[in-house]
């Protein structure tokens, strides 16, 4: 084959190959909008984190402002300590409330931040004092059944023992 034709074909091949990598990076991976700028780290302790995972989003008013970096168990308080990396450019007041939320019934678990009114802002290494744990669906159902049994048309006695029996009966069904 002619030398320059060969060069042309190799050039075309390499060009569309690099274009494909760029397509993957920009259109599929959305490299442009996701800034990997190092943000600042804040921590929050939760009684129960439910299904929260590392790399889960941190959202404020539904907007992604950071990612969960690390989850560990504090062996003194038996609370889960979640370290979050918040993008630089988003500032939150000291009395921000962090809660663990789920988008939809089966959706992903994320950390929601609701800003407070303090004039001081969270800085690198700070800990969010006010937190709200994940809602565990099983506990919620258990509580609902218990309430239902306690307030239902059960025999008038209404002692706690009877109520507990009624709840057991309800859950056995």
Residue 2 interacts with another protein (CB under 8 A)?
no
Tell me the closest approach of the beta carbon of residue 9 to another protein, in angstroms.
5
Q: Which of 16, 164 has the CB closer to another protein?
A: 16
Site track 103-132 with another protein (rule: CB under 8 A), x = hit: ---x--------------------------
Residue 72 interacts with another protein (CB under 8 A)?
no
Residue 63 interacts with another protein (CB under 8 A)?
no
C-beta atoms surrounding 128 within 10 Å: 21
Tell me the closest approach of the beta carbon of residue 30 to another protein, in angstroms.
3
Site track 17-36 with another protein (rule: CB under 8 A), x = hit: xx-xx-xxx-xxxxx-xx-x
Tell me the closest approach of the beta carbon of residue 132 to another protein, in angstroms.
24
Residue 6 interacts with another protein (CB under 8 A)?
yes
Q: Which of 58, 163 has the CB closer to another protein?
A: 58
């Amino acid at each position: 084959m002619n030398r320059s034709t060969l060069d042309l074909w190799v050039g075309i091949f390499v060009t569309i190959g690099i274009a494909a990598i760029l397509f993957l990076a920009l259109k599929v991976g959305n490299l442009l909008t996701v800034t990997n700028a190092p943000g600042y780290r804040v921590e929050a302790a939760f009684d129960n984190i439910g299904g929260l995972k590392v790399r889960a989003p941190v959202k404020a008013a539904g907007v992604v402002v950071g990612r969960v970096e690390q989850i560990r168990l504090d062996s003194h308080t038996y609370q889960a300590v979640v370290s979050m990396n918040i993008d630089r450019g988003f500032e939150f007041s000291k009395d921000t409330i962090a809660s663990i939320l789920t988008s939809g019934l089966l959706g992903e678990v994320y950390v929601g931040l609701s800003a407070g009114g303090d004039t001081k802002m969270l800085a690198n290494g700070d800990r969010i004092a006010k937190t709200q744990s994940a809602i565990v669906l099983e506990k919620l159902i258990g509580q609902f059944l218990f309430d239902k049994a306690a307030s239902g048309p059960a025999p008038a006695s209404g002692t706690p023992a009877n109520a507990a029996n009624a709840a057991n009966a309800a859950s056995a069904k």
